[in-house]
Amino acid sequence: MLKKFILLSQQYFMNMKFPRSSGILLHPTSLPGQFGIGTFGNEAFEFVDFLEKAGQKLWQILPLGPTGFGNSPYQCFSSAAGNPLLISPEKLAQYSLLDKNDLKDVDGKSIKSDHVDYKKAKEIISPLLLKAFKNFKTSEQNNLKKFCSNNDHWLDDFALYLSLKEEFLMKPWNRWPRAVRMRDENIINRYTDKLKEKISFHKFVQYVFFSQWKELKDYANNKGIHIIGDIPLYVAYDSVDAWTHPEIFLFNKNRLPVRIAGVPPDYFSQTGQLWGNPVFDWKYLEQNGFAWWIERVKANLKLFDIIRIDHFRGLAAYWSVPYGHKTAIKGEWTKAPGKKLFKALQHALGELPCIAEDLGVITSDVEELRNSFGLPGMKILQFAFDSKEENNYLPHTYDSNCVAYTGTHDNNTTIGWYKNISASDRKLVKKYIGCNDEGIAKSLIRLAWSSNADIAITPLQDILELGEEARMNLPGSQSGNWLWQYKKTDLTDKHAEWLKKITKICDR
């Protein structure tokens, strides 16, 4: 069975040409559960079972890192670590790291199951992780030591960083005492000794996170389902990456950003999007052989079967805004050495099973970079029906080397989108789709599945035919995002039967 899967995987990724297939976009936080957030618990395995029943081969997720301000998976404390809130307490009980009575103490009735409650999830899961750490047996220490040794290039710094954040009341690192902020060796050694118990705890948490993720991924892979993971182009300023590797960013002598990332005014925002992430010092990275990037991609290829590079256009040229500006309007395009980066990645890691998120302001240099390495781009059906202009998002224009989406985590749901478009755009949708009594969400799924694109993906919200209330993220907004969570009773065998039928008809 394992040999067969390895052979299929080799065929799947050969020459960067993906086979005709389809799948569902769902971040694990949106899984149902009693802990205030979706986890790698039983519901995750049941979702994999649903994918199998529905004839799907792909599960796409968002970044899995520990989230900071706003709970955005694109603003994490680390580019390598995992989010402790995704750890399943039920699995900890199965490992005998918790007692079943520990789970009975969880007052699930106080948690609304229609959206993620990050505060409540932390209040519940954090103490359980501490209990599990205290219950961890000496006989199992060898596995933990092996994990720590294999991941010491990021784990030691991250465990210290998170311990220091707790020591300094979760303030961002640029507000820590100067000697700590600037990583004075004597001071760092002193705090490492002082916080050694906390540091050991955070290493244990990461060990559990990656153990549970591996179990879930192996389960999916053994059913022929591949995981598409997401690499954000940028890292958060309040991250261990920025604290420990200031040389790879455009920082001043006080380690404040000189310029920050964003995008100019676009479909999502009239003032652009000011993300606030520090931009890379690409000259330094190039001189250093792109070592940080190679290590980052290598780690993600261990976690996922396919990687999607978010904001891919930033590897050709990126929107750079002077630090301190309130909007992204007064930025400028700055070239990035994308070709040199990808050549270095290929030299170190071989052909990359990679999807390019080529949305936004796409120019010829972005297309050239994508095409030079044979990377599939993204086609969003919600962008296809603009009656005022021609565009290349209508399915009949697709070549096969792309990924067709009804929408992404940044879009409205298909039903929410359809209710908000103009009458002329709605008329174009009906004209293009033809007579169809399935409803707009199912119609766009069928359209994506029947397209020439090698891969077709839909958010679970569209399978469930949900409206705007189920939107995952509204770019440019500061609150109310990343909260959607479905109920266990929402997903039924009827959904699986319909999707399997469409998938079979469309030869996916």
Any idea which residues carry the catalytic annotation?
Answer: 310, 357, 410
Distance CA 260, CA 281 (A): 11
| Tokens matching residue 118 | 């990050």
Query: What is the CA 377 to chain-centroid distance, rounded?
Result: 17
> Smallest Cα–Cα separation from 221: which of 30, 454, 22, 45?
45
At residue 439, the 3 state secondary structure works out as coil
DSSP state of 313: G
Q: Is 377 helix (H, G, I), strand (E, B) or coil?
A: strand
* Spatial distance between the Cα atoms of 29 and 73, rounded to a whole number of angstroms: 10
Paired strand residues for 25: 60, 459
Distance, CA of 44 to CA of 38 (rounded, Å) = 8
Helices (H) and strands (E) in the chain, counts: 20, 12
* Helix/strand/coil percentages in the chain, nearest 5: 50, 10, 40
Rounded to whole angstroms, the Cα distance separating 40 from 28 reads 7
Residues 462, 382: Cα–Cα separation, whole Å: 12
Beta strands 317-322 and 259-263 are: antiparallel
φ/ψ of 4, rounded to 5, equals: -60, -45
Say which residue the tokens 């500061």 belong to. 478
**CA-to-CA distance for 108 and 103, rounded, in angstroms?**
10
Query: Residue 129: which of 61, 78, 198 has the closest Cα?
Result: 198
**Which amino acid, 110?**
S
Taking the C-alpha atoms of residue 336 and residue 319, their distance in angstroms, rounded to an integer, is: 10
- Cα separation of 451 and 449, whole Å? 6
Distances (CA, A) of 216 to 42, 66, 144, 486, 494: 10, 18, 19, 19, 24
Closest alpha carbon to 134 in 102, 104, 162: 102
Nearest to 261 by CA among 188, 179, 319: 319
Q: Which secondary structure element, helix H or strand E, spans residue 456, and what is its range?
A: strand 455-459
- Residues 6+ positions from 184 with CB-CB distance below 8 Å: none
